[in-house]
Amino acid sequence: MLLKLTDYIGKLDPNSIPANRKEVLGPFIDYLQGKINSGSYITLNFICTHNSRRSHLSQIWTQAIAHHFKMNQVACYSGGTAETAVYPMILQVLEEAGFESVQLSKGDNPISAIKYSSDSHPVIAFSKTYDHPFNPSIGFAALMTCSEADENCPFIPGTEKRIALNYEDPKAFDDSPLQKSKYEERSRQIATELFFVFSKIKQS
């Protein structure tokens, strides 16, 4: 794990999570524990409307925190109901938390490699639909990171479990004085909740 990122994760406080959010996270914990108990590989697809903000934060933080807890059988993806682009502020707040980002391509929908460890494959980040060929087509859990996608996708082919996490969209603060702090707040919330989730998993 990259040193700055290790330090950031070490300062996360699961005790700050409200009881109602811990209830929301319960089905995710149960799903992961069931997969661990059965010795199964874990494939997760985080889904939001535009695959530009919350779904990428969730995908990237989950991959890093799974690595932190030595759960290397976890593979994370993300998608949307529409293809747009990863919003630049997402990459900025992740880099400030300790991730390293390398742009692999430019254009309207650039591709970036997000590193969390020097000895692990980076997360490849770009906007795509949830059923894009880059994403898994069967045997995955669909984690719905926004209520819009949760409501507009009543059926996701290939999923074995659907779980609603529903984070508030920091996009509401774009082009305002609060933009940076609200993106950082959402990133830290997601990281903290995922740390809590993985801390509850009993590994053999």
The one-digit pLDDT tens for each residue of the chain (204 residues) are 999 999 999 999 999 999 999 999 999 999 999 999 999 999 999 999 999 999 999 999 999 999 999 999 999 999 999 999 999 999 999 999 999 999 999 999 999 999 999 999 999 999 999 999 999 999 999 999 987 766 766 688 999 999 999 999 999 999 999 999 999 999 999 999 999 999 999 997
Please tell me the distance from the alpha carbon of residue 153 to that of residue 55, in angstroms, as a whole number. Answer: 15
Q: Is 40 within the bounds of a domain?
A: no
> For the CA atoms of the chain, what is the radius of gyration?
16
Residue 76 CB contacts under 8 Å (≥ 6 apart), including other chains: 44, 45, 46, 59, 60, 62, 63, 66, 123
H-run or E-run covering 111: strand 111-115
Whether 175 is covered by a domain: the verdict is yes
Which domain covers residue 137, as residue numbers?
Answer: 3-8+46-199
Report yes or no on 15 lying in a domain: no
Number of folded domains that form the chain: 1
Q: What is the pTM of this model?
A: 0.97
| pLDDT at residue 138 in the model | 97
pLDDT recorded at residue 155: 80
Strands 111-115 and 100-105: antiparallel
pLDDT score, position 147: 75
Per-residue pLDDT at 149: 65
Say which residue the tokens 């009543």 belong to.
Answer: 154
Let me know: does 80 contact 56? Beta carbons within 8 Å.
no
CATH of the domain at 124: 3.40.50.2300
Q: In the prediction, which pLDDT does 151 show?
A: 72
Let me know if residue 115 belongs to a domain. Answer: yes
Amino acid letter, residue 172: A
Residue 66 lies in a domain: yes
Is residue 183 assigned to a domain?
yes
Is 103 among the domain residues? yes
Tell me what pLDDT residue 35 has. Answer: 97
- Asked whether 1 and 67 are in contact (CB, 8 A), the reply is yes
